[in-house]
Structure 1
Amino acid sequence: MFRIRDVQIDPPLILAPVAGHTDTLFRQAVKGLGGCGLVVSELVSTEGMTRQLERTLHLTRFEDSERPVSIQIFGSDPERMAASAAMVEQMGADIVDINLGCPVKKVVKQGGGSNLLKDLPLLECIFKAVRAAVTIPLTIKIRTGWDRNSINAVDVLKLAEDRGVEALAIHGRTRCDMFSGRADWSVIARVKENAGIPIMGNGDVLTPSDAEQMFRETGVDGVMMGRGVLSNPWLIRQCYDHLQGARVVPVTLEEKAAFVITFLRRVQAEIPAPVAIGKMKKMGGYLSKGIPGGAQLRERIHAARSCDELLRVVEEFFRPENLAGCAGDPPEDSDSEQEEFSEFSCRHSS
């Protein structure tokens, strides 16, 4: 357990912001499985917020059952950042978070995300403006630097502390790394060693033992998980059980089937159809990974032309008589998954 000012993060396991995925429906679903001490929204464009775009404001929705909840904003204009942060506070969020880590070209070209790691004077202006605009806790999420020749995470930490930032999450890759290779936890450890505020570590935590190892090797206050939770929504709960010394109970196929079907039905019911079909395909693809016959299911999900058809495909697939004798999923191509993720990850952020 740790605190970000008066916000208690207990357990110290956090659902990371993942654009296009960690909306209120997914956050509620993960929180309901247990073990999650904080959820963070997908990144929200301050340009869209200050222009009152409905599709952008929709990303800020949350329910009390998610608390504590952090809304993450991105942009590069100090005035828009401050105005958007004030809107987040008015909405009743517990924390406002600034995205300084998104590596995707769409965000970087606008001057936001990890591009700000190259412009510390502008970053200081943003910190000052946002800090003056809100009374709720202010946090940031960064990468280790722009590239491996400009690792400046500790410099960003010190600037942030001086300007009133109250916690920092760090992904252990540079912007230029995107999602390739391994996250460099040694930089995370170095940031923690120099920090006077809570530090959350992120990157390559895909199993309960990974979470334990990150705590042990870096000394972070909290561990943040993103991609691993997309294909295994039980990951945070499993990490919690493992850290408590309890047996990690494998998720049954029946449990996964119930989760997938319930979640996709909620998406269909609560999100407009043109958006819902894309989201259902993407999430159905992630949630089908690691199950027998998952590759075939993903092909059929991708081919579906409507939400109703997609649901019929999934419900038919998970009938017990249809699962019998399914071949196991082939090993995932981690490189293609990383490419797919990095291409999509900020597509719906504005």
Structure 2
Amino acid sequence: MVKIGNIELPDFPLLLAPMEDVSDPPFRRLCKAHGADLMYSEFISSEGLIRDAMKSRMKLDIFDYERPVGIQIFGGDEEAMALSAKIVEAVNPDIVDINFGCPVKKVVCKGAGAAVLKDIDLMVRLTKAVVDSTHLPVTVKTRLGWDSDSINIYEVAERLQDVGIKALSIHGRTRAQMYKGEADWTEIARVKNNPRINIPIFGNGDIDSPEKALDYKNRYGVDGVMIGRAAIGYPWIFNEIKHYVATGEHLPAPTMADRVEAARNHVQWAIEWKGERLGVFETRRHYTNYFKGIPNFKEYRQKLVTQDAAQDVYNTLDDVLQRFGEGSLTMPA
């Protein structure tokens, strides 16, 4: 069993990474249904929360069926981070997570996300401000360092643990790498093997198959893995990894019926959350991923990304199942 504060997770838990414009409630619900053990919201600007920005507030939506679930915040100002942690606490998530890893320019320019990697003292102060302002367990997601000349994750892990974080997720790249090159898990293993470290250490970066998850578990000794891009359009990866770790065998690949069911659930849950217009619109970006690699799919993809009415989308998905599918479709509850 892995513990984050008072939250109990199974051995070698699988975490869904917080991803901007992806990790919203409908997507998280799908990943939960397919085996994710702990999920995080999209990251939320501390300044936006304090200003009561509508987009930031909507990202606070969490539901009981998702638990345990964490809400992730980012920012570069201690007071704003402390205040936003209190706002987050009011919606009663299980965890408050701090993003010190986002490499995107618009975040870094504000002195937040991965920009904080250039100033460990600031990172420690920001973290302490959040820990001191909430009774919830605080976790952190970060990278190895700003660039290859300033990999400082070993020191960062010790100092953040010292101010009270309950778990650390490490993406095995520097900010300079963005998402390019190969993630370096040897640095993550160094942190995990540091005798001073007693909090769970989760590895993140390049986990895209059951084989790799098991290999990295054995090779680097992490307490669990965080999966991001590999889950987009493929929520089945969580149960596939769990099954492979437990048995050494592969689950059958998702059928077309499984893919259609996932897409149908996704759009229906998005509509329940945001209404038909926004729900249909915001699910469009996911269809290409659900039906990746299906030959002769262009006509259906075009329909799915242009239709505005939910019933039209459902009809197209029915057509897809009829044209390409096998097995029966289970309607969402």
Distance 1:296 1:192, change over 3 A: farther
CA distance in 1, matches of 2:24, 2:242: 22
The TM-score normalised by the length of structure 2 is 0.90
1:79 correspondence with 2:82: no
CA distance in 2, matches of 1:310, 1:186: 49
Gaps of 5+ in 2: 326-333
Moved more, 89-98 or 240-249: 240-249
Q: Residue 267 of structure 2 aligns with which residue?
A: 264
| Alignment check: 8 A CA contact 1:300 1:313 kept | no
CA distance in 2, matches of 1:308, 1:61: 22
Q: Once the 2 structures are TM-superposed, how far is the Cα of residue 230 of structure 1 from its aligned partner? A: 0.6
Task: For 1:1-350, list aligned pairs within 5 A.
Answer: 1-10=1-10, 12-33=13-34, 35-194=35-194, 195-245=197-247, 247-272=250-275, 275-294=278-297, 297-302=300-305, 304=306, 306-308=308-310, 311=313, 314-315=316-317, 317-320=319-322, 322-323=323-324
| Alignment check: 8 A CA contact 1:44 1:59 kept | yes
Q: Once the 2 structures are TM-superposed, how far is the Cα of residue 247 of structure 1 from its aligned partner? A: 4.3
Q: Once the 2 structures are TM-superposed, how far is the Cα of residue 292 of structure 1 from its aligned partner? A: 3.8
CA distance in 2, matches of 1:36, 1:243: 14
Q: Residue 343 of structure 1 aligns with which residue?
A: none
Distance 1:80 1:307, change over 3 A: farther
Distance 1:293 1:47, change over 3 A: farther
1:216-262 deviation digits (Å, cap 9, x = unpaired): 12110011101101121110111111111154222111111111122
Q: Once the 2 structures are TM-superposed, how far is the Cα of residue 123 of structure 1 from its aligned partner? A: 1.2
Moved more, 310-319 or 244-253: 310-319
Q: Once the 2 structures are TM-superposed, how far is the Cα of residue 286 of structure 1 from its aligned partner? A: 2.2
CA distance in 2, matches of 1:145, 1:297: 43
CA distance in 2, matches of 1:78, 1:178: 26
CA distance in 2, matches of 1:59, 1:307: 24
Larger relative CO (CA 8 A, sep 6+): 1 or 2? 1
Q: Once the 2 structures are TM-superposed, how far is the Cα of residue 3 of structure 1 from its aligned partner? A: 0.5
| Alignment check: 8 A CA contact 1:98 1:141 kept | yes
Moved more, 44-53 or 244-253: 244-253
Specify the SS of the correspondent of 1:244.
helix
Specify the SS of the correspondent of 1:318.
helix
In structure 2, give the amino acid aligned to 1:152.
N
CA distance in 2, matches of 1:294, 1:165: 47
Q: Once the 2 structures are TM-superposed, how far is the Cα of residue 28 of structure 1 from its aligned partner? A: 1.3
| Alignment check: 8 A CA contact 1:2 1:10 kept | yes
In structure 2, give the amino acid aligned to 1:153.
I
The TM-score normalised by the length of structure 1 is 0.86
CA distance in 1, matches of 2:118, 2:293: 39
Distance 1:52 1:186, change over 3 A: same
1:8-42 deviation digits (Å, cap 9, x = unpaired): 12251111111111111111121112x32211111
Q: Once the 2 structures are TM-superposed, how far is the Cα of residue 266 of structure 1 from its aligned partner? A: 2.3
Q: Percent identity?
A: 36
Q: Once the 2 structures are TM-superposed, how far is the Cα of residue 317 of structure 1 from its aligned partner? A: 4.6
1:306-339 deviation digits (Å, cap 9, x = unpaired): 254871574255132x227xxxxxxxxxxxxxxx
Specify the SS of the correspondent of 1:224.
strand
| Alignment check: 8 A CA contact 1:276 1:307 kept | no
| Alignment check: 8 A CA contact 2:19 2:42 kept | yes
Distance 1:52 1:145, change over 3 A: same
1:181-231 deviation digits (Å, cap 9, x = unpaired): 111111111121123211000111111111101111211001110110112
- RMSD value, Cα: 2.0
CA distance in 1, matches of 2:164, 2:294: 46
CA distance in 2, matches of 1:114, 1:283: 27
In structure 2, give the amino acid aligned to 1:261.
R
Distance 1:252 1:171, change over 3 A: same
CA distance in 1, matches of 2:114, 2:139: 15
In structure 1, give the amino acid aligned to 2:223.
D
Q: Residue 341 of structure 1 aligns with which residue?
A: none
| Alignment check: 8 A CA contact 1:147 1:174 kept | yes
Specify the SS of the correspondent of 2:90.
helix
In structure 2, give the amino acid aligned to 1:16.
A
| Alignment check: 8 A CA contact 1:70 1:93 kept | yes
Specify the SS of the correspondent of 1:97.
strand
